[in-house]
Amino acid sequence: MTTMAQVICGLARRWCFGALGSPLQVPCLQALPLHLGRTATRASQRDLENAVHQVKLWKKDPGNEVKLKLYALYKQATEGPCNLPKPGMMDLVNKAKWDAWSALGSLPKETARENYVDLVSSLSAASEPPSPAKPAADGEQAGGDLVVTSENHITTITFNRPAKKNAITTQMYQDIMLALQAASKDDSVLTVLTGNGEYYCSGNDLTNFTDIPPEGPEEKARTNAILLREFVDCFIDFPKPLVAVVNGPAVGISVTLLGLFDLVYASDRATFHTPFGPLGLSPEGCSSYTFPKMMGPSKAAEMLIFGRKLTAQEACAQGLVTEVFPDSTFQKEVWTRLRAYTKLPPNAVRTSREVMRSKGRERLHAVNAEECGALQQRWLSEECTSAVVRFLSRRGKL
Ligand SMILES: CCCCCC/C=C/C(=O)SCCNC(=O)CCNC(=O)[C@H](O)C(C)(C)COP(=O)(O)OP(=O)(O)OC[C@H]1O[C@@H](n2cnc3c(N)ncnc32)[C@H](O)[C@@H]1OP(=O)(O)O
The number of CA neighbours under 13 Å toward the Cβ of 378 is 20
CA-proximal residue: ligand 1, atom 2 (nearest):
224
The ligand 1 atom at the shortest distance from the C-alpha of residue 224 is 1
Q: How confident is the model at residue 62 (pLDDT cuts 50, 70, 90)?
A: confident
Percentage, residues of the chain above pLDDT 70: 83
* pLDDT greater than 70 at residue 332: yes
Alpha carbon of 165 to ligand 1 centroid (Å): 7
Alpha carbon of 204 to ligand 1 centroid (Å): 7
Alpha carbon of 34 to ligand 1 centroid (Å): 34
Q: Taking the alpha carbons of 388, 389, 393, 397 in that order, is the dihedral positive or negative?
A: positive
Alpha carbon of 166 to ligand 1 centroid (Å): 8
Q: How confident is the model at residue 90 (pLDDT cuts 50, 70, 90)?
A: low
Distance (Å, whole) CA 222 – CA 219: 5
Alpha carbon of 345 to ligand 1 centroid (Å): 40
* pLDDT greater than 50 at residue 272: yes
The ligand 1 atom at the shortest distance from the C-alpha of residue 199 is 26
Give the range with max mean pLDDT: 32-41, 134-143, 221-230: 221-230
Q: What is the pLDDT of residues 206-223, one digit of tens each?
A: 999 888 899 999 999 999
Alpha carbon of 356 to ligand 1 centroid (Å): 34
pLDDT of residue 141: 44
pLDDT of residue 352: 95
Taking a C-beta distance cutoff of 8 angstroms, is the pair 271, 198 a contact?
no
Residue 311 Cα distances to 79, 193, 252, 270, 287, angstroms: 54, 19, 15, 7, 18
Taking a C-beta distance cutoff of 8 angstroms, is the pair 133, 176 a contact?
no
Between 43 and 253, where is the model more confident? 253
Lining residues, ligand 1, CB within 6 Å = 164-165, 167, 170, 173, 202-208, 224, 227-228, 251-253, 275, 279, 281, 284, 391, 395
Taking a C-beta distance cutoff of 8 angstroms, is the pair 175, 135 a contact?
yes
Q: Please list the residues that pair with 266 across neighbouring strands.
A: 246, 324
Give this complex's ipTM: 0.99
Mutate to test the pocket of ligand 1, among 168, 174, 251 (most ligand atoms within 8 A of CB): 251
Distance (Å, whole) CA 148 – CA 138: 9
pLDDT of residue 60: 73
Beta strands across the sheet bearing 323-325:
146-151, 154-159, 190-195, 242-246, 263-267, 323-325
The ligand 1 atom at the shortest distance from the C-alpha of residue 164 is 39
Reduced to 3 states (helix: H, G, I; strand: E, B; else coil), residue 48 is helix
Q: What is the chain's mean pLDDT, rounded?
A: 85
What value does the mean pLDDT take over residues 366-386?
96
| Tally of CB atoms within 10 A around 96 | 24
pLDDT of residue 263: 98
Q: What is the pLDDT of residues 99-126, one digit of tens each?
A: 899 999 999 999 999 999 999 888 876 6
Distance (Å, whole) CA 293 – CA 288: 9
The ligand 1 atom at the shortest distance from the C-alpha of residue 273 is 12
Question: Does the pTM of the predicted model rise above 0.80?
Answer: no
Taking a C-beta distance cutoff of 8 angstroms, is the pair 33, 65 a contact?
no
* pLDDT greater than 80 at residue 134: no
* pLDDT greater than 80 at residue 137: no
Residue 261's nearest CA partner among 316, 174, 193, 205 is 193
Residue 89 identity: M
60-63 contacts at long range (C-beta below 8 A, 24 or more positions apart): 60/127, 60/128, 61/17, 62/17, 62/123, 62/127, 63/21
CA-proximal residue: ligand 1, atom 28 (nearest):
165
DSSP symbols for 202-224: --B-GGGGG---TT-HHHHHHHH
Distance (Å, whole) CA 314 – CA 17: 38
* pLDDT greater than 90 at residue 250: yes
Distance (Å, whole) CA 368 – CA 366: 5
| Angle value at C-alpha 290, between 289 and 292, nearest 5 degrees | 75
pLDDT of residue 367: 98
Q: If you ran DSSP here, which 8-state letter would residue 327 be given? A: G
pLDDT of residue 25: 28
CA-proximal residue: ligand 1, atom 9 (nearest):
252
pLDDT of residue 126: 65
Q: How confident is the model at residue 64 (pLDDT cuts 50, 70, 90)?
A: confident
What value does the mean pLDDT take over residues 249-262?
98
